[in-house]
Amino acid sequence: MLTNLHKIRQNALSSITEASSLQEVKKIRIFYLGRKGKLTGVLRGIGSLKQEERRIVGKTANEIKKEIENAISAKEKELKDKDIKREDIDITLPGRIPWIGRRHPITICGQEICNIFTQIGYSIVEGPEIETDYYNFEALNIPMYHPARDIHDTFYLEGGRLLRTHTSPVQIRVMEREKPPLKVLSCGKCYRRDSPDATHSPVFHQLEGFYVDRNVTFRQLKGTLTYFAYQFFGKNIRTKFVPSYFPFTEPSAELYVSCSVCKGRGCRVCKGTGFVEVLGCGMVHPEVFNNVGYNPKEYTGFAFGMGLERLIMLKYRIDDIRLFYENDMRFLNQFGP
Ligand SMILES: [Zn+2]
């Protein structure tokens, strides 16, 4: 009987040592100490023994039981500790760097251009992106039959409203409510029914400015916009004004700056001319003044409008407008905070 007990003890202790999971330990406990367990069976059989033998076997069996229980508890603690350690924070891992938000290149450059103009007395005004036909076309001397409406392929909304195709309606809104002198700049989103490609996007940004007062001249227009071009593109560029046509200005012109890619020698970007067009401008058309209740004989003014994406593309030699809208961090990270 005693030999049997020692065998049970040895087997139990060695399987406890070998156990590698709490599940296994639980099985061992049931196998030896459970109601139908090996040791329990021996203790049950004690009754049939002689008194002297019963005492010795009983004592030994109880000692072995306690020993196995202690071994099981110790093993359980060891396995639990190991589990906790596994879940513990690994302090040797490098920390995760949080994403830091940054301004979009359109915001950065829009702000930069606004600063260039506010330094010479322009104030910033915003206008609605949903416009009426009157403010977007009619008041800007683009009547219903005018061919310029074909150029603006417009998103029309219900009730005769539309998404503005340029920022020029802001001119009308400001002039309707305020009297000259006015020096105003406006920047915002515009919409045209263009299929996205390298140079077109159905949504884009325009910057629009105008100056209205008595005796405003074309020479002032040239001076202001040349100043702007030097501030934005740097002192090393050359500029030229080329006659153009817009319904809301007369005379009209386009400002060209020397190509930043080829430095004026001629390349694919400037189509071999050495110059790229950066904005449209002109003297405000007398009909526009009539529409807002100004006397064209008393007031003159100039206006200009530029595509923000195009300017940024020219300055930073970006060859696809879609990069601005794809939110690729590799692109966006190249611009300042
Ligand atoms: Zn070029």
pLDDT digit string, tens, across residues 286-305: 999 999 999 999 999 999 99
Distance from Cα 108 to the centre of ligand 1, integer Å: 25
CA 276 – ligand 1 centroid, Å: 8
Q: How far is the CA of 237 from the centre of ligand 1 (A)?
A: 12
Q: How far is it, in rounded angstroms, from Cα 303 to Cα 285?
A: 10
Q: How far apart are CA 5 and CA 77, in angstroms?
A: 26
Residue 251 Cα to ligand 1 midpoint, Å, equals 28
Residue 87 CA: distances (Å) to CA of 75, 90, 96, 204: 19, 9, 18, 51
Token pair for 154: 């417009």
Side-chain-facing half-sphere of 89: CA atoms under 13 Å: 3
Of 190, 222, 180, 207, nearest to 311 (Cα)? 207
Q: What is the pLDDT of residues 233-286, one digit of tens each?
A: 998 899 999 999 999 999 999 999 998 878 878 887 788 898 989 999 999 999
How many whole angstroms from 148 Cα to the centroid of ligand 1? 29
How far does residue 290's CA lie from ligand 1's centre (Å)? Answer: 42
In tens, the pLDDT along 178-231 reads 999 999 999 999 998 888 888 888 899 999 999 999 999 999 999 999 999 999
By the 8 A CB rule, do 291 and 310 touch? Answer: no
pLDDT for position 284: 94
More confident position, 336 or 128: 128
Centre of ligand 1 to C-alpha 258, Å, is 8
- Side-chain half-sphere of 73: how many Cα atoms within 13 Å? 6
Give residue 241 CA to ligand 1 midpoint distance, Å.
17
Distances (CA, A) of 58 to 3, 32, 36, 52: 13, 16, 18, 10
CA of 230 to the centre of ligand 1 (A): 18
Q: How far is the CA of 87 from the centre of ligand 1 (A)?
A: 60
And the tokens for 317? 């030699």
269 C-alpha to ligand 1 centroid (Å): 5
For the chain, the structural domain boundaries read 2-87, 105-332
Give CATH for domain 105-332.
3.30.930.10
Comparing CA positions, the residue from 239, 229, 225 lying closest to residue 303 is 225
Kindly indicate the confidence band of residue 337, based on its pLDDT and cuts at 50, 70 and 90: low
Question: If you measure from the C-alpha of residue 70 to the centroid of ligand 1, how many angstroms do you get, rounded to a whole number?
Answer: 86
